[in-house]
Amino acid sequence: MIVVLKPDAKEAKVDALKKKISELGVKINYSKGTDTTILGLIGETQAIDIHKLRSNEIVEKVIRVQEPYKKANRAFHPQDTIVNVDGVPIGEGHFTMIAGPCSVESEEQIVGIAKAVKAAGAKILRGGAFKPRTSPYSFQGMGPAGLELLLAAKKETGLPIVTEIMDLSQIPAFDHVDMIQVGARNMQNFTLLKELGRLHKPILLKRGLSATMKELLMAAEYIMAGGNEDIVLCERGIRTFEVATRNTLDLSCIPVLKRKTHLPVIVDPSHATGLSWAVESMAKASIAAGADGLMIEVHNNPEEALCDGDQAITPNQFEHIMQKLKQYAAIEEKAI
């Protein structure tokens, strides 16, 4: 339930109303924007007398929210959320570039790529230390040693790092990671989501392989329900009957999600297509569709990459794409 307050509502009256509502055992999500102040009510709102609430002198209107996601709902928070990743903003007015290899392979590799993508304009470094591979015989990532190398690359370049977590037991090891990635395969790992909700750290939540937008938003709600509201959603392609691309990039999810949620939405054209030569066009299209940023896999030697070489672009190609993207972002009046 949403309670929209009158613009001239006095603080003391707002506090009194909040007190009255919380006495009914309902949680309040307070959101004060430039034009509107909203009380988002979460919990057993059935007990609330909507007519009585409407007649309160500081209440402008009361709306029942049908969707099961509340904190992620734009109705609860009309302004766009900007997530801060160690000083780098993601969201409204910004177009944030995240780049790096699929997997961390060596210090030379990760530091070299970090320097190259930073020079081209990337703001955050990606790289997997723990890899969710389809085959148990494939390279599983360097593990904790990979996290150390990411931190070394951060020290060298100043770029914040984002890397994927696979399960609960790894949380302590992610202490110095700036943003934790929840991969497509873990989008509905509710135990993990609940624990991440207790952290004060930005989360990059990727859409599940066959997850609907509603399921993605409910996964975000799991994290937010615990108190962590710094979430960036990532469209990375979904399973369809088409096999010419690794997945099918659902660009239409961007305008739809933007209406439904205030959370930033970025696109990963690398996993969406699985084809290095398709990354540039899908990256441009993502800007036009209203994305808040991109996550692109970049490898110094894609042919020898230990993971996802077919979709990786080289630092030179990334540099070239960045030049184009800067022009596209300018059209959308976003700082890249």
CA 188 – CA 178 distance, rounded (Å): 22
Q: Collect all residues with Cβ–Cβ distance below 8 Å to 329 and sequence separation of at least 6.
A: 95, 287, 335, 336
Please, which residues bridge with residue 232 across strands? 204
Give me the residue whose beta carbon is nearest to Mn ion.
Answer: 102
Applying the rule CB under 5 A, the residues between 101 and 130 that interact with Mn ion are 102
The span of 62-70, 113-121, 215-223, 300-308 binding Mn ion (CB under 5 A) equals 300-308
Q: How far is the CB of 247 from Mn ion (least distance, A)?
A: 12
Determine the interface stretch with ligand PEP among 84-92, 108-116, 182-190, 211-219 (rule: CB under 6 A).
182-190
For 131-163, the DSSP string reads ---SSTTS----THHHHHHHHHHHHHH---EEE
Q: CA-to-CA distance for 19 and 17, rounded, in angstroms?
A: 5
In the bound state with ligand PEP, the residue whose beta carbon lies nearer, of 38 and 238, is: 238
Under 8 Å between Cβ of 85 and 98 = no
CA–CA gap between residue 158 and residue 140 (Å, rounded): 27
Tell me: does residue 236 bind ligand PEP (CB under 6 A): yes
- Phi, psi values for residue 96, rounded to 5°: -100, 125
Give the footprint of ligand PEP on residues 46-105 (CB under 6 A). 102
Q: For residues 309 and 143, give the distance between their C-alpha atoms in angstroms, rounded to a whole number.
A: 19
Residue 289 binds which of Mn ion, ligand PEP, none (CB < 5-8 A, kind-dependent) = none
If one asks whether residue 253 binds ligand PEP (CB under 6 A), the answer comes out as no
Beta bridge partners of 238: 248
Phi and psi at 4, nearest 5°, equal: -95, 125
Provide the CB-side half-sphere exposure for 224 (13 A, CA): 27
Nearer to ligand PEP, 94 or 206 (CB): 206
Segment holding 182, helix H or strand E? strand 179-182
Please give the structure tokens belonging to residue 167: 């399960």
Torsion angles phi and psi, residue 84, rounded to 5: -100, 115
Counted residue by residue, the chain has a size of 336
CA–chain centroid gap for 77, Å, is: 16
CB of 288 to ligand PEP, least distance (A): 22
- Per CB under 6 A, the list member of 77, 206, 258, 299 interacting with ligand PEP is 206
Neighbours of 34 (CB within 10 A): 8
Q: Which does 183 bind (CB under 5 to 8 A by kind): ligand PEP, Mn ion, none?
A: ligand PEP
- For the record, the structure tokens of 123 come out as 């703001």
Q: How far is the CB of 92 from Mn ion (least distance, A)?
A: 28
Q: Does 271 interact with ligand PEP (rule: CB under 6 A)?
A: yes
Q: Which is nearer to Mn ion, 40 or 100 (CB)?
A: 100
Q: With CB cut-offs between 5 and 8 Å by kind, which of Mn ion, ligand PEP, none does residue 68 bind?
A: none
308 interacts with Mn ion by CB under 5 A: yes
Closest residue to bound ligand PEP by CB: 183
**Is residue 183 part of the contact set for ligand PEP (CB under 6 A)?**
yes
Among 25, 93, 132, 255, binds ligand PEP (CB under 6 A): 132
Task: Output the smallest distance, CB 101 to Mn ion, in A.
Answer: 8
Nearer to Mn ion, 228 or 247 (CB): 247
Q: From the list 40, 128, 264, 269, which residue makes contact with ligand PEP (rule: CB under 6 A)? A: 128
**Closest distance between ligand PEP and the C-beta of residue 185, in Å?**
6
Q: What whole-number distance in Å separates Cα of residue 239 and Cα of residue 245?
A: 10
Nearer to Mn ion, 139 or 328 (CB): 139
> Residues interacting with Mn ion, by CB under 5 A?
102, 308
Residues that bind ligand PEP (CB under 6 A): 102, 128, 132, 164, 183-185, 206, 236, 268, 271
